[in-house]
Structure 1
Amino acid sequence: MGALKNLPRAFAFASALILLPLAQSQAQGLVRDAEIETTLKRYGKPLFEAGGLNPDEVDIYIINDNSLNAFVTGGQQMYFHTGLLIKAETPQEILGVMAHEAGHIIGGHNITRTQAMGSAQGSSWIALGLGVLAIAAGAPDAGVALMASSQQAAALTFFKYTRIEESSADQTGLTLLEKTGIPADGLVTFMENIRVSEVLSARRQDPYYRTHPEIGPRIGALRNRAEVITANADPLPDEYQRELEMMQAKLIGFLQPRTAYIKYPLSDTSTAAHYARAIAAHQNRDETAALKEVQTLVELEPDNPYFEELYGQILFENGKFEESVPHHRRALEITQDHSLLYVNLAQSLISLKTKEANEEAEDLLHKALILEPGNAYAWRQMSFALGALGRKAEAELATAESAYVIGDLVKANIFASRAKDDLPQDTPKWRRADDIAAITQAYMQNNAPRQQRRRLNSQFSFEAHKDVNHH
């Protein structure tokens, strides 16, 4: 998989048990990266614990989108746009946004949002019904106007709930920051940064048609309390700032390679600059420059697993499969906490096309899937390893697992049915294939005539108003 990859959003949704996948949007790509995900998890852990949440149950995902946005959806799934991570000026800003989003989870706003949508629909039907009655009573103009207003009535009812939720999440976020002794000024400064975009569009937009309170009043409601919390908080450890700099260097290098050379010129000898230039050079197919920079990084920090991971990725993606293995192996020796590091080494081993390498890859992928059962890419690599070892039925089941996770139920059904036919009956793998085949078949039969609803209808966005238009 490599150090940083854009994947379909559906790759994010794990299903350790047999659960029907929800409708999943393919419109935007997820970015998977072991280092950045680990950093964000570390940032969030004290906040989640302070709010009574289990940090291991809060899933954090990164969306490749340049806008300043974050949201939660689907229970305890938290999403950050790359634009927010890149443009954040301090770790406190990311922590402030994270605390706000945790406030949505703690407040159970997934449930209240669903209830609000039901109330909004009721308002819409009432307006529509009044319009029909007006037409029947001989007032066609008034009736048409009422019917046209039905969507507006629904929106106004819905936004009433969401504005309350946003204010509630702000205050809960401040409470979490206060409990953890984290400065709260980041939440205020970040909203001040996005206030410019609100001002630019406010003249063209009715304030009632926003899912969030206007930024100005929100800042006023937060500032005094945030100042008190910040005054009583301890400064963040230096490692927070370093982790932010490395995260931003990596994102800019991969997603904005041209910008990387401007922001991190050759005269910049910082570790973050070497990181960004190594990645940007790799993205620009300059293997020589990329390897030179990554070699410098490894010399600077020989025990950094993510520098070894990048070294392996550069070699692997330039067709040097065997040379990539020691670097991915070294990354995994340094830390065994992230599934992607297991997958990286397994992928390099599979490319060697030997029995021993594929057997080791199978073992590595089992470990990756213990850490992340819904990693569709790991399942896909597992299918390659098992297929190369001549275990066709198991490879078909792995393909079914991968397809199931990303919501491709037709493919999942086909391969699960094939696996079921070829696996020994009543074994655990046969029962798993039978479960996937049965559930996907039932789901397709019940839902074939319907269009899947977009999962993001239930999102809670940090940004003031863009999501209304976007979603």
Structure 2
Amino acid sequence: MSWLKRSVSRITGVAVAIAALLALPAHAQAQSIIRDTEIEGIIHDWSAPVFTAMGLEPDEMTILLVNDPSLNAFATRGRIMGLNTGLILETDNPNQLLGVIAHEGGHIRNRHTLRDGVQNAGMQPFLMTMALGALAAVAGAPDAAAMLVASSQYFGTLGALRYMQSQEGEADITAARALESAGLSGRGLIEFFENFRSQEVFSEARRFPYFRSHPLSSRRIENLRGPVESSPYYDEVDSPERMAEHALIIAKIHAFMDHPGITLREYPESDTSLPARYARTIAWFRDGQTDRALAAVDALIEEQPDNPFFWELKGQIYFEEGRPVEAIEAHQRSVELMPDAPLLRINLGHALLESRDDDLLERAVVELKQATVLEHDNPMAWRLLGQAYSQLGREGEARLASAEYHYAIGQVDQATQFALRARDMLEPGSMEWRRAMDIILASGATMDDLRVLDESTARRPTGVLPPEPVN
């Protein structure tokens, strides 16, 4: 699925259990982290030179897409930042969005997320919760992450995240310098701030969340204007290719987030641009007009046969219409075109699994295992892999996959129980057996603990097994 949405079933401390694949109710959709290979890839390509100019390793940076209509963004520990879809939709061009990303990168570069002197009593628990939420998303449990981020207001108020004006200025200047070093204009950041200059005089309650945590002032804008306008790249504009990518991002977010009727009004058939046709295809699919959506996506594929995301969308349409066998070919083509994208391999593995064809189970295992190699902490991949192994009768590997799933979402006790089960079913010394041992030892158990457990198991009456963990 190109747009993964899952609901949170419960949150107990840092232990998060997700009910995968359940559609979010309308009132909860503003609290999810979304995954989309296409949008993530575009934003990463834009941002990488700026992060490099800051001295940050692009591959170590994580940008979360938060499904929330409010205008907001954040940066926190672990080189993690989040962008609300509402903020993305408020940008007029790539340079404005990149300016915000550069600013958040400036906070990370200057270690503002780790400062001690300016945080009030609520800052530490707030940042801890925010970081845990972000890490959950990196692990592949996006809605678990979002709920932690959303619930962080209960551990520390929004006021706890307000940076001192001096730190905002430092992040602005760091962003401006990095953009210049990357050969880009910083004009977009000033434009973005100028668009919301009125926030300066709004009461706290009326301000957008972003400008509560990032106080805006005329002096701050003017302090930024000097270094930005003195840059030799100030007059540089976004290329037509980037403008097209920005338009596509905006269209795709609208198409998946808005009611289909709204999307079809915003992108009428008189608009023949690629983003508009893409948006209408998604809207028809979400509106249940399957034949129309399939005809539209086939037209897109005919125009761009090597676009993996058009093939992905075709596979998604078939899959969510309950036609997994027909989805396989489309998802297979998307993987062929982009073999290093774990989410695309998960799509294919899921379709193979849901085909109910025993002859395809081994192929499902291959695809899902490769997805875990590319993104080791993706719970969806591990959960589906456990199902595939179980259907093949490979119970030791199924238990290990379940252990990996629970470990990825922070349920260490459950992970340990499944790993113990797996250890007893796997060939001692095998790679899988060693991984089960790694999970057990990571829980804090020692080799002495395991020896005691083994002795206890040896004394247990024949045929009596410990309780099976609940998956």
Residue aligning to 1:151: none
1:54-113: CA deviation from partner (whole Å, max 9, x where unpaired): 11111121111111222122221121111112221100111101111111121122321x
| 1:198 CA displacement | 4.8
CA distance in 2, matches of 1:324, 1:204: 46
Q: 1:156 to 1:266 in 2, by over 3 A?
A: closer
| 1:304 CA displacement | 0.9
State the one-letter code of the partner of 1:100: H
CA contact (8 A) 2:427 2:433 kept: yes
CA contact (8 A) 2:74 2:82 kept: yes
State the one-letter code of the partner of 1:350: L
Q: 1:23 to 1:239 in 2, by over 3 A?
A: farther
CA distance in 2, matches of 1:228, 1:197: 26
Residue aligning to 1:214: 216
State the one-letter code of the partner of 1:175: R
State the one-letter code of the partner of 2:196: I
CA distance in 1, matches of 2:161, 2:60: 29
Residue aligning to 2:166: 164
| 1:374 CA displacement | 1.1
CA contact (8 A) 1:75 1:110 kept: no
Residue aligning to 1:14: none
CA contact (8 A) 1:167 1:213 kept: no
Residue aligning to 1:265: 268
| 1:410 CA displacement | 4.1
Residue aligning to 2:300: 297
Say whether 1:366 aligns with 2:369.
yes
Residue aligning to 1:138: none
State the one-letter code of the partner of 2:68: D
Q: What TM-score results when the alignment is normalised by the length of structure 1?
A: 0.77
Report the 3-state secondary structure (helix = DSSP H, G, I; strand = E; otherwise coil) of the residue aligned with 1:5: coil
CA contact (8 A) 1:7 1:32 kept: no
State the one-letter code of the partner of 1:226: V
CA distance in 2, matches of 1:156, 1:234: 36
Report the 3-state secondary structure (helix = DSSP H, G, I; strand = E; otherwise coil) of the residue aligned with 2:203: helix
Q: Which of 228, 245, 248 is 1:246 aligned to?
A: 248
State the one-letter code of the partner of 2:215: P
Residue aligning to 1:105: 108
CA contact (8 A) 1:294 1:307 kept: yes
State the one-letter code of the partner of 2:319: F
| 1:24 CA displacement | 6.9
1:275-315: CA deviation from partner (whole Å, max 9, x where unpaired): 11111111122212211221221122111110110011001
Residue aligning to 2:329: 326
CA distance in 2, matches of 1:436, 1:299: 47
| 1:156 CA displacement | 13
1:391-439: CA deviation from partner (whole Å, max 9, x where unpaired): 1121111112112212233432332232223223343322322332444
CA contact (8 A) 2:385 2:401 kept: yes
Residue aligning to 1:36: 39
Task: Give RMSD over aligned pairs.
Answer: 3.0
State the one-letter code of the partner of 2:187: D
| 1:189 CA displacement | 1.4
Q: What TM-score results when the alignment is normalised by the length of structure 2?
A: 0.77
1:183-213: CA deviation from partner (whole Å, max 9, x where unpaired): 11111111223334453325889xxx95433
The structure that is helix-richer by fraction is 1
Q: Which of 166, 182, 185 is 2:187 aligned to?
A: 185
Q: Which of 43, 46, 53 is 1:50 aligned to?
A: 53
Report the 3-state secondary structure (helix = DSSP H, G, I; strand = E; otherwise coil) of the residue aligned with 2:356: coil
After TM superposition, list the pairs within 5 Å mapping 1:135-150 onto structure 2. none
1:206-234: CA deviation from partner (whole Å, max 9, x where unpaired): xxx95433343322221232223375453
Q: 1:248 to 1:212 in 2, by over 3 A?
A: closer
CA distance in 1, matches of 2:388, 2:357: 10
CA distance in 2, matches of 1:421, 1:278: 50
1:361-408: CA deviation from partner (whole Å, max 9, x where unpaired): 212222222221111111111112211211112111111211221223
Say whether 1:286 aligns with 2:285.
no
CA contact (8 A) 1:403 1:412 kept: yes
CA distance in 2, matches of 1:198, 1:9: 36
CA distance in 2, matches of 1:344, 1:173: 37
CA contact (8 A) 2:169 2:224 kept: no
CA distance in 2, matches of 1:156, 1:8: 24
Looking at both structures, which has the greater relative contact order when contacts are Cα pairs under 8 Å and sequence separation is at least 6?
A: 1
Report the 3-state secondary structure (helix = DSSP H, G, I; strand = E; otherwise coil) of the residue aligned with 2:230: helix
CA contact (8 A) 2:228 2:234 kept: no
Residue aligning to 2:196: 194
Residue aligning to 1:341: 344
Percent identity between the aligned chains?
A: 38
Aligned length: 396
State the one-letter code of the partner of 1:54: E
CA contact (8 A) 2:16 2:411 kept: no
For structure 2, the residue ranges without an aligned partner over 5 or more in a row are: 19-27, 125-155, 446-471
Report the 3-state secondary structure (helix = DSSP H, G, I; strand = E; otherwise coil) of the residue aligned with 1:324: helix
Report the 3-state secondary structure (helix = DSSP H, G, I; strand = E; otherwise coil) of the residue aligned with 1:373: coil
For structure 1, the residue ranges without an aligned partner over 5 or more in a row are: 11-20, 123-153, 443-471
Q: Which of 41, 66, 71 is 2:69 aligned to?
A: 66
CA contact (8 A) 2:123 2:161 kept: no
CA distance in 2, matches of 1:68, 1:159: 16
CA distance in 2, matches of 1:203, 1:386: 52
Report the 3-state secondary structure (helix = DSSP H, G, I; strand = E; otherwise coil) of the residue aligned with 1:6: coil
| 1:175 CA displacement | 0.6
